[in-house]
Chains A and B, each alone.
Chain A
Amino acid sequence: MTSNNPAVFLLMVNGQIEAADFPEYDDLYCKYCFVYGHDWAPTSGLEEGISQITSKGRGSQSLVWNFPLDITFKSTNPFGWPQIVVSVYGPDTFGNDVVRGYGAIHIPFTPGKHTKTIPMFVPESTSRLQKFTSWLMGRCPEFTDPKVVAQGEGREVTRVRSQGFVTLQFNIVTKDMKKLGYETTSEHSAATGLTRTSQNM
């Protein structure tokens, strides 16, 4: 695999879904999946996962999952860069499992450690009556596919309400990106400063 003319580049993502901040809800769990373009293929690791249910600690407001992510993609084209889609679920007052938030974010481009916070949102009921019945029946409106939140198409027909945050941590390693001509780190970071005594007049 150490050829000088690689055909693909690799993107290794590991990290974790660290914690969530949902002030109103408790006992939540989350699911994640990846959405990526045609030119991407996962080579190893889990593409989807479902976490344990966590409750808030005494006095703390955040829900900690520390749910690990570990996946490696290969690709030939940065178009369709993978996004992680996180959806959070939890019981409502009657104990029905309802969705508490959807969110998506691109995997960071640059190698290194990144901590990202995703704002979450849920689709709104279409009417008051719907809202009431959905509350009563424990069937909140959901996206037909959580991957909807990773794409822009068809979003204009929905109404959503923002709800909480999820914090993720990524460690990114890339391979052969530069060999294929994709530059992800900026040039300026390498610029050196000259020390000189300067005197303006």
Chain B
Amino acid sequence: MSSSGNPSSSGGGGGPCGACKFLRRKCVAGCIFAPYFDSEQGAAHFAAVHKVFGASNVSKLLLHIPEHKRPDAVVSICFEAQARLRDPIYGCVSHIVSLQQQVVSLQTELSYLQAHLATLELPQPMAPVSSSGSLQALSITDLPTISPSLYDLSSFFEPVMSSTWAMQQQPRPSDHVFGVPSSSSIIGGGGELQALAREFIQGGQMPAQPSLGTGGSASTVIKRE
């Protein structure tokens, strides 16, 4: 994607933007794609966007979005397009389902652990310990470095999905796909969305496709907080 975000980079003396280069058309001044698709890597990214969404649909979409939000929109559109080309059946939905399963797994694990904690804290045969008593209550800050083995409570519970943690250990890909600008002025939100998009574009975590079942409503998959 273009790194400048400068409207003057569109058309004119700067040559065609990546989108117009791909479409083999004249890049006019004020081209809506020019700030986001530079003439080098932008053409490849636009190719994916065009194949999945179509140039006119993306243009209409961008026109309805405030200008300061368009860089983020382009990043997410490129991400979805790339995901769809990589997985023509599920696109990025497979990843959503996988993440949701991770959330459920973690919450299950957390519930087990909280229940276990409750059983540990329940029996209190002795009188409550006051702060001035001889027995001082331990707090986390009093502990020395806890050895990793103490975190392995899997023997207390049913075998927990180890893939939950294994998936977090995957190496992070390098971030040179989009020609990311050095400043974060184009992409809002501190670059988190961009980092996320870079990971997936590099083929980070796209697991096996589960069945979606019926209904494609977003509300049936996720509850927004």
Bound together: no
